Structure 1
């Protein structure tokens, strides 16, 4: 099982990150969503490798088979982990693909390190640019709702994750596309993540404002979002980022929930591969 060793921002703690490296060709790095792991990407990894690309997916610190440090789950630390991965594997001309929370790593990486080693970017069901409702972000999620999520994670985490999984796929509307076994699989992945890491990364995606960083995204960028997303509503996220990121292609998937990598995997893969080949 391959790992890399990273330093935190203060360089006082080492974290081992688990990754999967498949195929040959231009490297495509898949950054998973909250609260899952690299395992969420199985349908995309196969398609990307079959199309002639090298596909690297990894577990964010605190998730999957990566280490579970107590601190440093902010986006600077997460982007630095990504930087270590890219340097350790000596990757060039990378395509960064961030799902949901992972969109934050993409944007923060480009803010911290510029376009060095990066050729393109993809944001799928992304939280970018800002989740929380404020006076200048009136369509965001109210703070009291975010606080209730944090409370649920602290007091009834595994129960919350089960209900969250259903909203993730708009399960009642997509029973023919999402099996109960898929829900249990996701719940197992999410439940076995670090409780501390789950909460602290939730604080990161809930409270980080990326609006001023969108100008730092200058590589060609594909933005994909489902118009039925109940986890990250399209109006508060991709609708906004598509207007601010300079060189982007914006695709809306009709009736797509948050977890469209399962419910609309063929459509998603077609758009993704088309962008990669351009």
Structure 2
């Protein structure tokens, strides 16, 4: 069965494993509130082309256990590394979205790169959004906490708010199209994440700062970020990673919002395919 126990505290975590067992491996790390279903426009095509695509449901998300603790960045990073160990994966490309990108950074700086060859960060919140000494132009942490409290009073309303949906997908801009049915589906999947997980992840984003860790990433990094991402503005996130990381390629998607994994699904898949292929070995025979 596609479950394993977290090495941190024994929490039962669910994962998916698509494609051939001997294909080049991509491990997908999800956004807050969503499970592996968010990557369908990337995982299914790539798995069909011979890549092994693995995805982890974060604790309290998807089909993983509902638990109270373990939503700190260290434990989430340990959960991710535990999956790599459980499946004995090597030469991995880690692909993250939003807070999943920070989990990837912490996983690498905490556990090293023995199993990981490269990293792709899609609409990431890394290095961090909150104002700090390293990020003087960041958001006011008090305002972020106040917004979180408002959202948590009525989670279904938050995840179904028309204006929030419009901003998430940047639907007011050309080229960004998702059906009402897809929006309804994705909002429903967000509500599968437990109230505890939702609250804890919101708190995590308010304090998250991996600025000092990004320069330690000694491997190729691909950053894909949208010009109209109001959840992870380019100058606070992807552009900063590109300046901090020693081997980084930044690709900016015109008009894309935070939900670019859906609105720009085919383009992201193509960029990931190229990135994965850069490390693909060819049998000399």
Give the TM-score of the pair, scaled to structure 2: 0.92
**2: CA distance, partners of 1:36 / 1:271:** 22
Deviation of 1:176 (Å): 6.2
Tell me what 2:111 maps to: 113
Runs of 4+ in 1 over 4 A off after TM superposition: none
**CA gap 1:174/1:57 in 2 versus in 1, 3 angstroms:** farther
Of 159, 162, 181 in structure 2, the residue corresponding to residue 161 of structure 1 is 159
* RMSD over equivalenced CA pairs, Å: 1.5
Deviation of 1:186 (Å): 1.0
> Are 1:87 and 2:69 an aligned pair?
no
1:162-177, aligned counterparts within 5 Å? 162-163=160-161, 164-173=164-173, 177=177
1:31-70, aligned counterparts within 5 Å? 31-70=29-68
Judge conservation of contact 1:97–1:124 (CA < 8 Å) in 2: yes
Deviation of 1:149 (Å): 2.6
1:122-133, aligned counterparts within 5 Å? 122-133=120-131
Judge conservation of contact 1:5–1:17 (CA < 8 Å) in 2: yes
Of 12, 17, 24 in structure 2, the residue corresponding to residue 16 of structure 1 is 12
Q: Could you list the runs of 5+ residues in structure 1 that have no partner in the other structure?
A: none
Tell me what 1:193 maps to: 193
Judge conservation of contact 1:133–1:140 (CA < 8 Å) in 2: yes
How many residue pairs align between the two structures? 274
**2: CA distance, partners of 1:215 / 1:201:** 24
**2: CA distance, partners of 1:35 / 1:112:** 24
> Are 1:3 and 2:3 an aligned pair?
yes
Give the TM-score of the pair, scaled to structure 1: 0.94
Per-residue CA deviation, residues 101-127 of structure 1 (Å, 9 max, x unaligned), is 100111001110111111111100001
Partner secondary structure for residue 223 of structure 1: strand
Tell me what 2:25 maps to: 27
